[in-house]
Structure 1
């Protein structure tokens, strides 16, 4: 078992207070957006290992590369290769993230190969595919967590837009009453993202003023326009379900599902990829044709995950993919110790109280890496998240 030393990513949308409050550290005054746990090359966690009669701190990615089967287990290496297949995070959104979708595995592989063949540098601002992997993800709320996820029923969206009484929205209202629903949604999103920028900026301004006046279900979109004035993503966001997760509730986001996080503190886990196609709410590159090829125009209510505890106390957030498996233990005082030993690699993260792993106390925000097959016993009181794989 290794204590992890983790990197905080200071993205502009990060909260200045949420992560320091969890970690018990002093705020720096700068945004602190994400705490990364894992072996992603962008910011691998660091572990202390014996070296030349002493100890030294090493990137977890290097430790795994030196002996993948020892660290990950034979089954994980056979299924996912010699790499940790997930990235685990604490995410602290102080302002909205970009409206985005992720490709499926086949789309990512094809897109990455095409951009490699075209000679587009991986760090080019107009590049879509940074790697050849998909990026399904799961977010679990630690505080009330606000977001947008998937397309709302088109008729309900038509009513939301019509209530704004903005002339330039009326064509979208008419389109949203058309059938089939997926074609109507595609046509409206295409029209929004390809509209004349000046005309769209005026539409966004008028819509934001109406949303501020109407309040209620309209209020979130006035807030988005405050952060992103004139951005067509404000109107695109109105096509999506608005959701607020309560602590312990989770949301799985598969390929092609448009989404955005608006605010809150949560635990997030995803396949080890950086492939993002943006729809708006961002100054970054938006590739409309590629985006429309990847988006799934399926309307419906998002499925909120609310797990139930097993007899041993483990609450599993069920997902349809194998690159990660997330669960948690919420342990009262005097709870019986639990054996967490498993033939797959694990990252264990405390978020409340002081749970102990093999006698080592973990304060909130602290985590450990447990190599495959190594003994790990959970005791003490508090909340512990467990990230591993299905192999």
Structure 2
């Protein structure tokens, strides 16, 4: 509140109307009423520099839409003596359809964009994306506001080569999907990473369809440094993955990058807590590599229900890791509840496999286990929809 009170006083002045004329405004940021530490405004050796800082912060708040806190942080990353260029950038973004919140995000994440030449620097990127890729303006602006780096890349040297290369492998529609997601594959050097990495996978015998699969869904696995990719390939081959199978590229993705490797380790520890051996875990990984990218909450939620409620053996799930990917609330609990009631009534065997219960399409499950017994057990559909519970034995 003290911070906002301070800036409300600053707002009474018209910023840049007479740049450098607000005498001793720095005291507003340093007096005992404010919550701003003097250290946040260093290094300033004169009143003029302090005043310039206040003016900049005020501009970021009033013209760019940043909060006082974010304005202070952003002011450390940009400097300008005149509002002419920043005004031109803001006017350009507004006229092209960026919302106020999107503009604020752009400025906060990439404040140096305020010093860009709108026509020479920003317009060519926007025109390329809208005219050449087919992405909608709404999707493009959402992507750019999340990652302003798209506005800093060379159209000729970066964006066009990457776009054309990806288009030839995965097609226009999937490239646009990557663009909507803001994939940082567009920011990687095509000649140093993407091309040599794809060529390397082809030389290993990885089918084109699997290369397209990983580029469409997990391009970061192919956009890493070439030496790192070679290390990952050697690792997953040693684990027994075959380059001719789709699980090979999925395993590459699961073992690529610090984030995924950290997830892998967390999953390993979670499965161990549920009684899986090292061999169990590696078997599950080979069957479905992405089972090592699930959250602890997801893994424990599914295993807890299947083990404690359905009486399944925990290690049995290691043989069927695809079961971990079904929704607990929308699929596993409703279907298992139906089967449990049918078993209690003696209408199905207790040893019915989870694959038979969870894998079939909904229509098949309803026809086989709900509609078929609806006359004898009219509550089945309510149990399936979560409107009733299975009575205790």
Q: State the TM-score bracket (shorter-chain normalisation).
A: under 0.3
Quick check: which one's helix share is greater? 2
Q: Of the two structures, which has the highest relative contact order with CA contacts closer than 8 Å and spacing of 6 or more?
A: 1
So what's the TM-score if we normalise by structure 2? 0.20
In our comparison, the structure showing a higher alpha carbon Rg is 2
